[in-house]
Amino acid sequence: EAGVAQSPRYKIIEKRQSVAFWCNPISGHATLYWYQQILGQGPKLLIQFQNNGVVDDSQLPKDRFSAERLKGVDSTLKIQPAKLEDSAVYLCASSLTGLSNNEQYFGPGTRLTVT
Amino acid sequence: DAKTTQPNSMESNEEEPVHLPCNHSTISGTDYIHWYRQLPSQGPEYVIHGLTSNVNNRMASLAIAEDRKSSTLILHRATLRDAAVYYCILRDPNPYNTDKLIFGTGTRLQVFP
């Protein structure tokens, strides 16, 4: 079974530039999550999709971050414009359903460095 | 959301058992206890979860205190590949609540050959 795919794996940009990350979840998984992990901390949820609808985006900085999952499969997370404090690993995860005891499967992440 | 407390770091020698503690004194009666681990340069991966009874799977065992205010993840024979950050997370099974994982800083386990 293929895992969660993310690209790119690494990205370096200057502040005020824009960047986009892509995620392809495990086939058949209805729920997709984007997490932000700052160095030395645990991951923090940014946004959760159930199929193509947003379930929770309470921690997403909406003035600069946006995410979409138009066809209920793959998803993109965009930052525009980037700030230095956005330097982090961005993790995508998926689960079969949105039920809380469903295991979440994580991708390898995209490491973003903002200079 | 109920919080968990874990030691920042622990050490073990290869092939020895490892007991990773987690305190969750404010756990509710319906919260499940989940463990995930994060190997270097990888995303977190599920390890095990339980409610009241002790649980075993191919990766580890989970021992839950009778009052459920603490739990212990047990790796029976640590290998070098078990070196990771281990996260103890409480999850509310209420389907009307978001099922997001709330990570703390976890326990960094070092395994020495």
Give the closest residue to A98 by CA, choosing from A33, A6, A42, A26.
Answer: A33
| Residue at A73: amino acid letter | V
pLDDT confidence tier of residue A97, bands split at 50, 70 and 90: confident
* Partner-chain residue, chosen from A33, A98, A100, that has the shortest CB–CB distance to B92: A100
Q: A109–B43: do the CB atoms touch at under 8 Å?
A: yes
Is B27:B90 a contact under the CB 8 Å cutoff? yes
B74-103: average pLDDT: 86
Question: What are the beta bridge partners of residue A112?
Answer: A11, A88
For residues B91 and B52, the model is more confident at: B52
pLDDT value of position B99: 67
Residue window 65-84, chain A: list those with CB within 8 Å of chain B: none
Give the closest residue to B82 by CA, choosing from B51, B104, B50, B113.
Answer: B113
pLDDT value of position B9: 97
Over residues A4-50, the pLDDT tens digits come to: 999 999 999 999 999 999 999 999 999 999 999 999 999 999 999 99
Over residues B7-41, the pLDDT tens digits come to: 999 999 999 999 999 999 989 888 899 999 999 99
Residue A108: list chain B partners with CB under 8 A: 41-43
CB count in 10 Å sphere of residue A49 = 23
Q: Is A47 on the interface with B (CB under 8 A)?
A: no
Share of chain B above pLDDT 90, in %: 77
Is B91:B69 a contact under the CB 8 Å cutoff? no
Q: How far apart are CA B69 and CA B11, in angstroms?
A: 24
pLDDT value of position A98: 65
Q: Rg of the Cα trace of chain A?
A: 13
Tally of CA atoms within 13 A in the half-sphere of B107 that contains its CB: 25
What is the phi/psi pair of residue B13, to 5°?
-95, 155
Least confident of A58-67, A95-104, B53-62: A95-104
B67-86: average pLDDT: 96
Over residues A40-82, the pLDDT tens digits come to: 999 999 999 998 899 899 999 999 999 999 888 999 999 999 9
CB count in 10 Å sphere of residue A85 = 10
What is the phi/psi pair of residue B82, to 5°?
-80, -5
* Partner-chain residue, chosen from B43, B85, B104, that has the shortest CB–CB distance to A107: B43
Residue B105: list chain A partners with CB under 8 A: 40-42
